[in-house]
Structure 1
Amino acid sequence: MILKPTLTNAVLLCLLATAPVLQASNSEPDSTQSLYQQHCAACHGSDRIGVTGPALLPQNLGRLSEEDAESVIRNGRPATQMSGYDEVLSDNEITRLVDFIYSEPDNDLDWSPDAIKASHRVPNPADTLDPFPIYVADLMNLFLVVEKGDHHVTLLDGDRMEPITRFPTRFALHGGPKYSPDGRFVYFGSRDGWITKYDLYNLRVVAEIRAGINMRNIAVSADGEYVLAANYLPHTMALFDAEDLSLMEVIPAARPDDKASSQTSWHSLEYQDSIPQKMESSRVSAVYTAPPRDSFIAALKDIPEAWEIRVVDDEAQVRRMETETHLDDFFFDPDYQHLIGAARDGKQGHVIDLDTGDTVATLPLPGMPHLGSGITWEYEGRRVMATPHFRTGAVSIIDMQNWKVLKTLETEGPGFFMRSHENSRYAWVDVFFGPNSDKVHVIDKQTLEIEKTLQPAPGKTSAHVEFDRHGEKLLLSIWDDEGAVIVYDADTLEELKRIPMKKPSGKYNVWNKTQYEEGTSH
């Protein structure tokens, strides 16, 4: 039976988008801007950066087509307070609004430390919550399933493969939820910059804060004390106390023109209201936790550098490592000695020694590898890594001892996600892009060949596998509004059951994520 947790004020705010102002204009508004201010600004902000409703900026709407946006304005969005405007606005007005929200704003946008602090709320402080779960389950074999169809998350018992509860989230979660080291708390990040801390024992929101206007992802430190957010807008990272998400520091993603040597030195970077003209700034593509190094690693979009960040006496210290080119996506070897980054040109991967900051190898990886979805395993006494590609139907398998491509395995189309488990002989990769997106390949990790190709729901995209903690069962998403999570036997590949869900995307097992299981992304 699904438990229904009490909705706190913070959770209710998660549901709020705009309700239409039920007064049709008697005359054409002076401009589309005034049309927006009349009907949308109250919940989406006069500057479109979002308030209780999501931000309406091109960067934040990247995964919503203009056609879908028009449908939302016209018909509303299920499970939110966004009602339809079909009887309020004309076709022309709706079209103009869509054009407006997909256009770049005229003014520069910023999200200051004061704005971050003003967004902070703690409806259920962690120290006031019961330290024991309100349900019975293996707490290390829980799954969180993100349902993009109606912006909810289902908490799934990984032994019984039954839902425990389902709760609303902020609009457009991105980058995957991150667990505290003990698995009790989970932190969600949204494209709109919201970070939500949720207690998996009491099924309540603990705290929320908005780190930026457009955020890529978050990372939780290995000791569970800090949360770091990576922003596209503004060009910053924001550091928070993991206990209550209070702001500790805003780190500008910028470097001076002199590009002083930084491979082995650590610096503090203080936030200013605006980045000085002599400072080159960058969007932050992602941040990662590097547990053996007691640090974070940041990928920069617009500066050819990777940053390592340590928190010393509650203050961020940054070491900048220059790279040979702009790197968009990162992967790490198991001991976090090496970083593997995908070059912007989509043709190469660069291997960087994190101690020295030097590039030690270059890999031929045409077709833009999705390194963030890479996995590793033991093959003939050595460790290999494998990654799908965004732009070509291939999986690259790389020897991590000599950094050579061991094999390029042809698939039926470009893939997005790849998963396995230490206890499984198989690796799974989807064919997310192209006409064969309803298929998924099962690869034998010792023969390096495709063992089987499945087509679980013809005509509907199959994507993103996640194993249970034991590697005995796995979940696969049918990426559709009337979709499902399919449970498979990891050894026989037999389908065991289907759990209906609203466009389920990522699934995240507590054990695999907190123990850094080799078959899942980190």
Structure 2
Amino acid sequence: MESMRQPLRLVGLLFSAVLLAGCQLLTESPTDPRELRGTGDLGLIIERASGSVLVVDTTEKTVLERVEGLGNLSHASVVYSRDGRYGYVFGRDGGLTKVDLLTGSIDRRIVQAGNSIGGAISQDGEYLAVSNYEPGGVKVFDSGSLEQVASIPAHYEGEDGETHRSKTVGLVDAPGNRFVFSLFDAGEIWILDMSHDEPRVVRREAGDKPYDALITGQGRWYIAGLYGEDGLSLLDLWNPDEGVRHILSDYGRNDERRPVYKMPHLEGWAIAGDRAFVPAVGAHKVLEISMEDWAPEGRIPVQGQPVFVMASPDHRQIWVSFAHPDNDVVQVIDSRTSEVIRTLEPGEAVLHMEFSPRGEEVWISARDSNRVTVYDTGTLEKITTLEAKKPSGIFFTSRAHRLGL
């Protein structure tokens, strides 16, 4: 009997040693932030001139890594995998790069076209769609492997009776594993449905030269700005068979005619309660619009031509950036009073703003000052600055759980 107890005692001692070692591993904090951490407070900052991105920690407000070799990032944007680990960077040169935020490295990279203008990720996270100028159309890729799964050439019949390919713009993701985009040359809006065995496309007339577009946060309304005529095109994605509706014919192109130094980004529209705050094209105004009937409600004077007009997550503030030559300031509007309450100076050539997931901070890139400034949205005071090489777009992983970004 004693001879049987000896092996059992040894097994017990070995088990205790393994258990203690495991407990020690669990209680020790990792020295390398990449060893064990979540991704919910991470993000990417585009360094447009150097073809690189910064991996940032929004809690500590620090730069974790610089990832290089991403090509032409002059008009780059980013979407995220569902778990927030991978950022997909869409470059202007047709590059599609999958960046691993936890290792600070490129996981995969392809060049899928000659000239691209943004992308989107499907509702289920399975597909990536890229909007291309050259060749005109949209390509769809598997988000894991970056293998191409579909190509949708933007064919249309021109006035000469010949078939042409249009530049595609305003690409967004929509509920139901759909993508929506506009054809600049054809004046159309297409809905690409990826929920079936084969992709399906629905075409709708849009207006003259749609140049950019947005989708509202709940995924119902797709709005395309029109470069060739006053107003915008509105498509109800709940009822797409009703066709496109023309709204806001006095959107601002004929109001106070000035040279347009930079077309506003429609994706930067601010939705606050039942109102939309919209940059007026070429005018020093932010327009207030009722979302019940899409009628103008008011005009807020600002110090320049607005480019981005963005609402804080609680909808209490509207932050506005501007086109050259007034692009070294940002103005903050109180959404309750529709008045400018502060003018800030983040640096020269402000290009982008991004709110922290719950809105207590906003990060602002200043390209020509080579820095990103972080502000407290409660006090409107500067918290800190981060050095960056010609920074432009700022994209946090909280975007992984929001439609249309």
Same fold (TM over 0.5): yes
Please say if 1:154 is aligned against 2:38: no
1:403 alignment partner in structure 2: 294
1:334 alignment partner in structure 2: 217
Q: 5 Å matches for 1:71-470?
A: 134-135=34-35, 139-173=39-73, 174-255=75-156, 278-290=162-174, 292-345=175-228, 347-354=230-237, 355-363=240-248, 364-367=250-253, 369-378=264-273, 383-423=274-314, 425-434=316-325, 436-457=326-347, 460-470=348-358
Deviation at 1:314, TM superposition (A): 4.8
Deviation at 1:178, TM superposition (A): 0.9
Contact 2:204 2:244 in 1 (8 A): no
Change (3 A) 1:175 1:321: farther
Structure of higher CA gyration radius = 2
Between the two proteins, the alignment pairs up a number of residues equal to 361
1:510 alignment partner in structure 2: 397
Contact 2:89 2:97 in 1 (8 A): yes
Equivalent residue in structure 2 for 1:495, among 354, 357, 382: 382
Counterpart-to-counterpart distance in 2, 1:346 and 1:496: 43
Identify unmatched segments of 5+ residues in structure 1.
1-131, 259-276
Change (3 A) 1:142 1:218: same
DSSP-derived class of the 2:194 partner: strand
Counterpart-to-counterpart distance in 2, 1:257 and 1:488: 49
Contact 2:169 2:213 in 1 (8 A): no
Q: Output one character per residue of 1:468-507: Cα deviation in whole Å (capped at 9) or x when no partner.
A: 1121111111221x42111111100011111111111111
Deviation at 1:377, TM superposition (A): 1.4
DSSP-derived class of the 1:293 partner: coil
Change (3 A) 1:410 1:137: farther
Contact 1:325 1:344 in 2 (8 A): yes
Q: Output one character per residue of 1:348-374: Cα deviation in whole Å (capped at 9) or x when no partner.
A: 122222322523341121246531211
Q: AA paired with 1:506?
A: G
Q: AA paired with 1:373?
A: G
Counterpart-to-counterpart distance in 2, 1:148 and 1:171: 9
Q: Output one character per residue of 1:214-266: Cα deviation in whole Å (capped at 9) or x when no partner.
A: 111111111111111111111222111111111122211113579xxxxxxxx
Structure whose residues are more often strand by fraction: 2
Deviation at 1:426, TM superposition (A): 1.4
Counterpart-to-counterpart distance in 1, 2:324 and 2:39: 34
1:486 alignment partner in structure 2: 373
Q: AA paired with 1:443?
A: I
Deviation at 1:166, TM superposition (A): 1.0
Percent identical pairs in the alignment equals: 28
TM-score by length of 1: 0.65
Counterpart-to-counterpart distance in 2, 1:349 and 1:450: 26
- Taking CA–CA contacts closer than 8 Å with sequence separation of 6 or more, which of the two structures ends up with the larger relative contact order? 2
Contact 2:224 2:234 in 1 (8 A): yes
DSSP-derived class of the 1:319 partner: strand
Q: AA paired with 1:196?
A: T
Counterpart-to-counterpart distance in 1, 2:154 and 2:353: 34
Counterpart-to-counterpart distance in 1, 2:267 and 2:76: 10
Counterpart-to-counterpart distance in 1, 2:218 and 2:121: 18
Contact 1:307 1:320 in 2 (8 A): yes
Counterpart-to-counterpart distance in 1, 2:324 and 2:192: 35
Q: Output one character per residue of 1:189-234: Cα deviation in whole Å (capped at 9) or x when no partner.
A: 1111111111222323222222111111111111111111111111
2:11 alignment partner in structure 1: none
Contact 1:145 1:504 in 2 (8 A): yes
Contact 2:67 2:106 in 1 (8 A): no
Contact 1:196 1:207 in 2 (8 A): yes
Contact 2:372 2:385 in 1 (8 A): yes
Counterpart-to-counterpart distance in 2, 1:369 and 1:150: 25
Q: AA paired with 1:185?
A: Y
Contact 1:154 1:166 in 2 (8 A): yes
Counterpart-to-counterpart distance in 2, 1:508 and 1:372: 13
Identify unmatched segments of 5+ residues in structure 2.
1-31, 254-262
2:361 alignment partner in structure 1: 473
Contact 1:442 1:452 in 2 (8 A): yes
Change (3 A) 1:456 1:175: closer
Counterpart-to-counterpart distance in 2, 1:348 and 1:478: 31
